[in-house]
Amino acid sequence: MNATAPFLVILLLAAFVDLLTNKVPNILILPSLLLAFLLSYMNGGAGLLLNSIFGACVGFLVLLYPYSKSLIGAGDVKLMAVVGAFLGPKLALLAFLYTSVFGGLIVLVYLAYKGLLAQSFRRVMSLQFSSARIPYACAISAGSCFTLFNLNYP
């Protein structure tokens, strides 16, 4: 069974819920993780299941440091683990790279919209960070979709 459609639905749901509530709920994360593992096993047996588990670990670990510094929420870390479970470890790293790019763009647009771009630039230059929350699941979803739809290109 192809895992693309369920993966895209999960990403869209996570982004939508994060936009509305500033949270990615565990009620979405746990079933998504289990579904990724189940589909991996159904499509490739124990080998692909292990790859999926390793991908989940990589996805989780890449956002653990920003979480430890209160830069993102726990739901974002767990969502990235789901991304890793669906894509595997190598593509989880690529998705993280694209997520970072999309996250930066989303933050710039948000700050410009709020009229806070110059003030924020001064704060960053003095290493003072804001406590404002940006729905980072949108960036994770965008980066993951970009990864998924660009698999055929070098």
Q: How far apart are CA 11 and CA 139, in angstroms?
A: 10
Tens digit of pLDDT for each residue in 24-77?
A: 999 999 999 999 999 999 999 999 999 999 999 999 999 999 999 888 999 999
Q: How far apart are CA 136 and CA 75, in angstroms?
A: 9
pLDDT at position 118, please? 79
Counting residues of the chain whose pLDDT is more than 70, the rounded percentage is: 92
Q: How much is the mean pLDDT over the chain?
A: 90
Q: How far apart are CA 104 and CA 82, in angstroms?
A: 21
The mean pLDDT of 102-122, rounded to a whole number, is 83
**89-114 and 26-62 helices cross at what angle (nearest 10)?**
110
Q: How far apart are CA 51 and CA 89, in angstroms?
A: 7
pTM, rounded to two decimals: 0.89
pLDDT band at 127 (very low <50, low <70, confident <90, very high): low
pLDDT band at 137 (very low <50, low <70, confident <90, very high): very high
